[in-house]
Amino acid sequence: MPLISVIIPCFNHARYLQDAVRSFIGGETSIGMMEEQTIADFEIIIVDDGSTDNTLAECARLSYFDKRIKFTSTGINSGTSVANNTGLRLSTGQFLTVMSADDMREKFSLHDLHSVVASNPHHFAYDNVRIITGGKRQDKVWVMEDYDLNSCLQRNPCHTGSMYEKQAFIDTGGFNEKMRYGREDWAWNISLGMKGYCGIHVASAGYLYRREGQNRTLTNATPEWQKEFGSQIREIFSDLYEGRFPMGCCGSRSTYYDQTKSGEPMEPARLVGADGMVILRYVGGNVGRQVFYGSVTGTGYSFGALPKDCRKLVDSRDAHTENGKGFLDLRYKTKKSF
C-alpha cells in the first residue's frame, strides 16, 4: 500500500493531465522539466467526471507507463465533490490529498505536507499557492491564511490541495455532494474542523495553480454565485452558524453540544442587537459583495466596496469579541477588513 494517495478529478481537462501527472513522477511539462516528488511512495487516482474530450484515453496512456497511476470514471458528469469522493474511496494510502487536473505541484510539496501531518495526528496541512500561466511560474504567491474554524465560516482560508489522514475522510464522510457547482473545498475545510481536524499552514509554496482562462472561478465568482454558495454553506452547517459547535471541534464558541447524544437540547442563537448595534465600514479589497458571519450571533452581514454597501449595522458582540474573532479583528494578510 502506498504512503500517500493523490486524487485528481478531471472534467474535460485531458490537455493538462500530462503536466499534472509529471509534476509527481517527473518529466517535461509546459513549464519545463519537473523532477519527481521527493517522496516517491504514492499512488495517483485520476477520476474522469463524465468528460466529453479524450480524458479516458489520456488516462489509459499515462497509466501504461507507471503502475502508480490508476484511473476510473463517474460515468456521467456529477460534480467535483462526487469525483473526489469516488477517488478517495478507492484510495489505499495512509494519507490523502486532492489536486485539480489543470494544476501541478512542486517536487517538495508532498514531503512538506506529509512531514507536518505525520508529526501532528488529527490535523490537516496546506501550503501556499504559486500562479502558473503562459508556460512559466509567476512571482505572485497566494499566501493562505492560518486556519480557524470560526473564520472559515466567513470565507475559505485554504485551497483544496490539503493533506490529511485517511481517517479524516472516514470521519467526515467526504466532500459534501450538495456543493455541485463549486466551493466544495470550502465545505470540506469546515467539515474537517467540525471533526477536530484543525489546519496547519505550511509556509512553502508547493501548489501550482494554473490561470489560463480555463478556471471555474471565472464563471462562478459573481455576486450571485457567492450568495448562492453562502446559502448552501449556511444550510449544510446550520448548527455552526447558530452558535452550536460539536464537542471536540476546532471552533471557539462558548456553546457546545455532544453529537453522540441524540435529543440533547441545543441553545438557540442569541437575539441580534440585544446588547446594541454599531456601524462598521468594510475596507477590504474585494470589489464584489460578500457575506461575513458574526462569531457570536451567527448572523450574516453583506458588505461590498461601493459606498452604498461598505457601511452596515452590526451586532456589537460580533464587532468585537474577547477571543479576537470579531469583525474588527479580521485581517486579510496584514490589512484590516473593517
CB 77 within 8 A of CB 11: yes
CB 104 within 8 A of CB 208: yes
Please state the domain extents for the chain: 4-224, 269-338
Q: What is the average per-residue pLDDT within 310-329? A: 84
- The cell for 309 is 454597501
Q: Report the pLDDT value the prediction gives residue 265, as an integer from 0 to 100.
A: 36
Going from the C-alpha of 211 to that of each of 46, 48, 165, 193, 220, the distances in angstroms are 21, 21, 29, 29, 15
Q: What is the average per-residue pLDDT within 328-335? A: 79
Higher pLDDT, 188 or 297: 188
CA dihedral of residues 7, 9, 14, 15 (deg, nearest 10): -80
Q: Report the pLDDT value the prediction gives residue 268, as an integer from 0 to 100.
A: 37
Going from the C-alpha of 100 to that of each of 8, 129, 191, 232, 244, the distances in angstroms are 6, 13, 20, 22, 33
d(CA 312, CA 272): 14
Q: Report the pLDDT value the prediction gives residue 302, as an integer from 0 to 100.
A: 75
d(CA 12, CA 59): 12
- The cell for 113 is 505536507
Q: For residue range 134-159, what is the model confidence (pLDDT) as tens digits? A: 889 999 899 998 888 888 888 888 88
d(CA 338, CA 335): 9
d(CA 177, CA 84): 10
- Total residue count of the chain as it appears in this document: 338
Three-state secondary structure of 130-157: EEEECCEEEEEEECCCCCCHHHHCCCCC
Q: Which of 108-112, 264-268, 282-286, 300-304 has the lowest mean pLDDT?
A: 264-268
CA-nearest of 68, 55, 89 to 22 is: 68
Q: For residue range 144-200, what is the model confidence (pLDDT) as tens digits? A: 988 888 888 888 888 889 999 999 999 999 998 887 777 798 899 999 999 999 999
Whether the predicted pLDDT of 23 surpasses 90? yes
Fold adopted by 4-224: Spore Coat Polysaccharide Biosynthesis Protein SpsA; Chain A (3.90.550)
Q: Report the pLDDT value the prediction gives residue 130, as an integer from 0 to 100.
A: 95
Predicted TM-score of the model (pTM)? 0.72
CA-nearest of 219, 208, 4, 200 to 103 is: 208
Whether the predicted pLDDT of 264 surpasses 90? no
Q: What is the average per-residue pLDDT within 256-285? A: 59
Contacts with 242 (C-beta within 8 Å, 6 or more apart), sequence order: 266, 268, 269, 298
Q: What is the band of 216 on the pLDDT scale with cuts at 50, 70, 90?
A: low
Q: What is the average per-residue pLDDT within 276-297? A: 75
CB 305 within 8 A of CB 287: yes
d(CA 164, CA 28): 29
Report which residue type is found at 76: I
- Mean pLDDT for the chain overall: 85
Contacts with 98 (C-beta within 8 Å, 6 or more apart), sequence order: 6, 7, 8, 9, 84, 87, 88, 160, 161, 162
Q: What is the average per-residue pLDDT within 223-233? A: 75
Q: Which of 5-14, 111-120, 246-255 has the lowest mean pLDDT?
A: 246-255
- The cell for 161 is 490541495
